[in-house]
Amino acid sequence: MSDRPAKSYGIIATFQTAPQLYHAAEQVRDAGYRHWDCITPFPVHGLDRAMGLRRSIVPRISLAGGITGFITGMTLIWWTGAWDYPLIVGGKPYFSPMFAFPVSYELTILFTAFATIIGMFVLNGLPMHYHPVLKYEHIRRGMDDTFFIVIEARDPRFNAANTRALLEKAGGTAIAELEA
Amino acid sequence: MAHASESTVGAPAILREVKPAVLPRAILVEHGRSFSWITDKISGIIEGKTPGWWWVCFILACFVASFTVGGITYLVATGVGVWGHANPVNWAWDIVNFVFWIGIGHAGTLISAILCLLRQKWRTSINRAAEAMTIFAVVCAAIFPVFHVGRIWYAWYLFPIPNSNVIWQNFRSPLEWDVFAVSTYGTVSVLFWYVGLIPDLAVLRDRFYAAGNKLRSFLYGLFAMGWRGSNRHWSNYEMAYLILAGVSTPLVLSVHTIVSFDFAVSLLPGWHTTIFPPYFVAGAIFSGFGMVLTLMLPLRAVYGLQDLITQYHIDCMCKITLATGTIVGYAYGMEFFIAWYGANPYEGFAFINRAFGHYAWAYWIMISCNVITPQFFWFRKVRENTTLVWVLSIFVNVGMWFERFVIIVTSLARDFLPSSWGYYSPSIVEIFTFFGTFGVFSVLFLLFIRFLPIMPMAELKAVTPQADVHGGHHGDHKTGLGDPASVEQGGPQP
C-alpha cells in the first residue's frame, strides 16, 4: 500500500457533540456543498434541515404500494369468487365490496409495508456492505457516540485545502482523507 | 401560508402575553448516562459470557416446549379426534389459545406503533422487547388454527393458491379474513422489528469486528445491510419507520377486530354482539401489557436496567393496564345490560348461564383477575412495588385466558336447544399442547435476549438530553430535561 491513496473519496471530520455537528452542518450547507453527508449514531432531530435535505420521498412509494395492495385484494376476490368459479355460498352475492373489504384492507397494509421498506432500501442504496466511509478506522465511534461530516471529492466545490479549512472553522477535529 | 401569517399578526395582543405553562418532562434515561454508556450497556448483554441462569432457563424452556412438539406430533399421527372437541363444542381449546396468544402480541404493536405516533417517548426502552414478544406470540398463536385443520399438509388451502379442486377460498367467511389478518400481522411485525434493528446490528457488527470475532461480525453485518449511520439514510429511514408505525396502527386494531368477527358475525347468543371489536381490542392490549410487565420486570432486575426502564416506565405500563382493564370491565357490564335490554331470551340466558351456570367458576376467575386485579394500580405504593406489579401481571394473563375460554365455551356448550347441550373439558393432549407453547415462547425470547439488542440503542440515544441540538440555546423550554451542562456530555465518557 502506498503512502498516499491513489484516489481520494473525500474528507472526514469528527465532532464530539450533536449541537457541534448541527451547526457545522449548517455551515457546510451554506457553503454550497451538495455531495456530503453526516454520520450520526442516532437520527439527530432537525439535522435534515441543517443539511438542507428535502423531505424523503418514501411516502410516495408507500402510497403506490398501498393502492396496489387494495386493488390486488378486490381483484383477487372478484376474480376468484365471481369470475373464475362462481359458487353460491349461504345465498350471498358472488362479489360485494363489503365482504371483500377486510382482506383488501389487510393487503393494503401488507403491500404498503413492503413498498416502504423496499423503497427505503433502494433510496438509501442499501444493502451496500462496502463503502469508503466504512474503511475509516474510527468509523465505529460513529455508531456509538461520535459524529462525523464527510465531504466527497466529487463535489464541484471540493478543494482539499479549502474544504479542510471550512471543516476546521466549523469545529471539526481529526480531519482525515478517505480512500476511495 | 399568507392566511396563516395574517392571522398571527392579527391575533389579539393578549395572546402574545400568554406564556404556556412549562410542564416538566419525565427523565427517560436516568443518571445522565452518556451515549457510549448506552451502547456498552446494551451490547454488553450480548458480548458477555452466557450467564448460568440463561442456560437453566433455556433448558427448562426447551423441556416445556417439548410438550407442544409431543402434543402436535401425536395429533398429526393420530387425528384431530385426540383433542376434546365433541358436539356441540367443536371449537374450543385451539381458538381460545389462538386468541389468547394473538392478544398478547397486540401490546407489542401498541407500544411500537401507536405510542410512536402519539410521541410517547417512554416507549423507546421497551419497544424492542415488546415487538419481539409480538412476533413470538404470533408464532405460538399460529400453531393452534394450523393444527386444528387436522390434515396439516393441506393447510395451504387457506391461501388462494390454485389447487386440484379448482375451487377458491370463501372470502365471505371471517375465518378467511383471519388468515389474511394474522399472516399480514405476522409479516408486518417482523418487518417493523427488523427495520428497527438495522442500526443496532451495525453497532454490533463494528464491535465484534473490533473484538476480533469475525464470524459474528459477518453475521450481524450481513443483516445490518451495510448501515453506516448516514444522515441521508436516517432521513429515509425515519420516514419509513413512521409510515410503518402509521400502517401498523390500523393493522393492530383491524387484526383483533377481525378475530372478534370470527364470533360476532355468527348467530350464536353471547357471540353475536356489536361490542366485540372494541372490547376485543381493549382486552388484547390489556393482556399484552400484562405480558410485557411479566417479561420486562425480571429482565430489568437481572440485567440492571433500572436507568433505562425507570419507575416512570412502570407507572405508564401499569396505568395503561388499569385503563384497558377497566374498559374490559365496562364491556362485561355492558354485555349484560344489552342482553337484558335486547329482550332476547336466548341472549339473556347465555349471560345468566355464564355467570351462574356450569362454567361459573371460569367466569368468576375471569372477573376477579381482569376487573379487580388492575384496580390495585390506582395506588402509587402498588406501582412502586415491582414484585407486586409482577404478581398482578400474572393474574392479568390468567384472567385474559379465562375470558376467551368463557366467551367461547359457554356459548357453544349451551346454545338454542337444550337437547344438544354439552360440557367441554380439554383432553390431556390439548393441555400439553397449550402448556408447551409457553416453552416455545420462552425459547424464542431467551434466544432474542442472548443474541439481539434488547433495547433500541439509537432510539434511546435520541431521547437523552445531550441529543438535543438546541439544548444550550433555549434551555427554558427544557425544564426537567437535566441541566444545560449535560449537553456537553455527548463526547467520550469513561
* Residue A19 to residue B480: CA distance in whole angstroms: 19
Half-sphere exposure of B383 (CA within 13 A, CB side): 19
Give chain B positions within 8 Å (CB) of A48: 231, 235
Residues in CB range of B447: below 8 A, 6 or more apart: none
* Confidence at residue B26, expressed as pLDDT on a 0 to 100 scale: 66
Give the residue carrying C-alpha cell 409457553. B438
Residue A95: closest CA among B157, B168, B456, B134: B168
Element of type H or E holding A37:
strand A36-39
Confidence bin at A4 (pLDDT 50/70/90): low
Asked if A108 and A76 touch (Cβ cutoff 8 Å), the reply is no
Exposed / middle / buried, residue B210 (Cβ in 10 Å: 0-12, 13-18, 19+): exposed
Q: Which residues pair with A173 in a beta bridge?
A: A14
Confidence bin at B25 (pLDDT 50/70/90): low
Residue-wise pLDDT for A51-95, tens only, equals: 888 888 889 999 999 999 999 999 999 999 889 888 888 888 999
Q: Which CATH number fits domain B18-463: 1.10.645.10, 2.40.30.10, 3.60.150.10, 1.20.1630.10?
A: 1.20.1630.10
Contact between chains at A128 and B225 (C-beta distance less than 8 A): yes
* Confidence at residue B53, expressed as pLDDT on a 0 to 100 scale: 87
CA angle B161, B163, B169 (to 5 degrees): 60
Mean pLDDT of B216-239: 87
Amino acid at B462: A
Contact between chains at A53 and B203 (C-beta distance less than 8 A): no
* Confidence at residue B493, expressed as pLDDT on a 0 to 100 scale: 36
Domain positions in chain B = 18-463
For the cut 70, the answer to whether the pLDDT of residue B52 exceeds it is yes
User: Which of A145-149, B91-95, B119-123 comes out lowest in average pLDDT?
Assistant: B119-123
Q: Give percent of chain B with pLDDT exceeding 90.
A: 20
Give chain B positions within 8 Å (CB) of A144: 35-36, 39, 203, 206
Residue-wise pLDDT for B340-383, tens only, equals: 998 888 888 888 888 898 889 999 999 999 999 999 999 988 88
| Residues B479-489 as b or e (16 or more Cβ within 10 Å = b) | eebbeeebbeb
Q: What's the mean pLDDT when you consider all of chain B?
A: 83
User: Which residue in the set B244, B258, B462 is minimally distant from A102, CB to CB?
Assistant: B258
Contact between chains at B187 and A81 (C-beta distance less than 8 A): no
User: Which of A117-121, B52-56, B131-135, B419-423 comes out lowest in average pLDDT?
Assistant: B419-423
* Confidence at residue B475, expressed as pLDDT on a 0 to 100 scale: 40
Asked if B174 and B258 touch (Cβ cutoff 8 Å), the reply is yes
For the cut 80, the answer to whether the pLDDT of residue B214 exceeds it is yes
> Which CA distances in Å does B6 have to A153, B15, B484?
46, 14, 36
Give chain B positions within 8 Å (CB) of A43: 231, 234, 237-238, 458, 462
Higher pLDDT pick, B212 / B479: B212
Query: How far is Cα of residue A23 from the mean position of the Cα atoms in its chain?
Result: 22
For the cut 90, the answer to whether the pLDDT of residue A112 exceeds it is yes
Contact between chains at A80 and B169 (C-beta distance less than 8 A): yes
Confidence bin at B483 (pLDDT 50/70/90): very low
Residue-wise pLDDT for B265-311, tens only, equals: 888 888 888 888 888 888 888 888 888 888 888 888 888 778 778 88
The 8-class DSSP code of residue B304 comes to T
Phi–psi pair at B473, nearest 5 degrees = -90, -50
Contact between chains at B170 and A59 (C-beta distance less than 8 A): no
Length of chain B: 494
State the cell numbers at A104. 383488501
* Confidence at residue B79, expressed as pLDDT on a 0 to 100 scale: 84
Enumerate helices (H) and strands (E) in chain A, giving the number of each: 5, 4
The beta-strand segments (E) located in A70-155 are 147-152
Long-range contacts for A87-90 (Cβ within 8 Å, ≥24 apart)? Answer: A87/B167, A87/B168, A89/B170, A89/B172, A90/B172
Confidence bin at A130 (pLDDT 50/70/90): confident
Asked if B457 and B38 touch (Cβ cutoff 8 Å), the reply is yes
Residue-wise pLDDT for B239-266, tens only, equals: 998 899 889 889 988 988 898 898 888 8
Mean pLDDT of A147-168: 82
* Confidence at residue B7, expressed as pLDDT on a 0 to 100 scale: 47
Give the residue carrying C-alpha cell 366467551. B407
Contact between chains at A103 and B459 (C-beta distance less than 8 A): no
